[in-house]
């Protein structure tokens, strides 16, 4: 009986170790795949940003000069998307809608903005990629804050 118990215990440990090894390996493959996928999305977003956004928001995400001071038209200049701006204060769903529908459509109440909606130019995946690229440039503190704001929304 003791020998059978030892054999069962040994097989249980062996099986448990095998399952653990499979799970760890799967997690590593999944993490590597996610990292590669994320890098691809960020690179796509960088290119879309350069093509569609940089002319107003700056090649380095710096925004237009005096972006907090209204222009003669009463509209605000394009804000920066780097850590010095306010983009990271907004949750993901609002950022997505601003890019897709335009600022005026989101703010409402007759608010006027030079920021158009890109629904006819960019697909949802491209908008998500642009946002991923912008977020990838923020320091950890801003990324963490924005992630938390998005979680609450």
Q: Which domains does the chain have, with CATH numbers?
A: 40-152 (1.10.760.10)
pLDDT band at 33 (very low <50, low <70, confident <90, very high): very low
**Cα–Cα distance, 58 to 134 (Å, whole number):** 12
**Cα–Cα distance, 146 to 144 (Å, whole number):** 5
**Cα–Cα distance, 48 to 73 (Å, whole number):** 28
Is 0.85 topped by the overall pTM?
no
First-to-last C-alpha distance (Å) of the chain: 60
Q: Do 88 and 142 meet the contact criterion of CB atoms below 8 Å apart?
A: yes
**Cα–Cα distance, 35 to 130 (Å, whole number):** 17
Q: Which residue has the higher pLDDT, 153 or 48?
A: 48
**Cα–Cα distance, 44 to 65 (Å, whole number):** 27
Q: Which residue has the higher pLDDT, 68 or 9?
A: 68
């Amino acid at each position: 009986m003791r020998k059978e118990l030892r054999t069962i215990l040994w097989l249980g440990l062996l099986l448990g170790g095998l399952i653990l090894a499979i799970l760890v390996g799967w997690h590593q493959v999944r993490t590597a795949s996610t990292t590669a996928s994320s890098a691809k999305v960020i690179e796509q977003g960088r290119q879309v940003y350069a093509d569609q956004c940089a002319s107003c928001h700056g090649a380095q995400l710096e925004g237009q000069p005096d972006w907090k001071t209204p222009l003669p038209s009463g509209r605000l200049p394009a804000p920066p998307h780097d850590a010095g701006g306010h983009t990271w204060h907004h949750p993901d769903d609002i950022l997505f809608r601003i890019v897709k529908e335009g600022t005026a459509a989101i703010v409402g109440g007759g608010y006027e903005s030079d920021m158009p909606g890109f629904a006819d130019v960019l697909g949802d995946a491209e908008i998500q990629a642009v946002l991923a690229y912008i977020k990838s440039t923020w320091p950890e503190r801003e990324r963490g804050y924005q992630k938390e704001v998005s979680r609450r929304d």
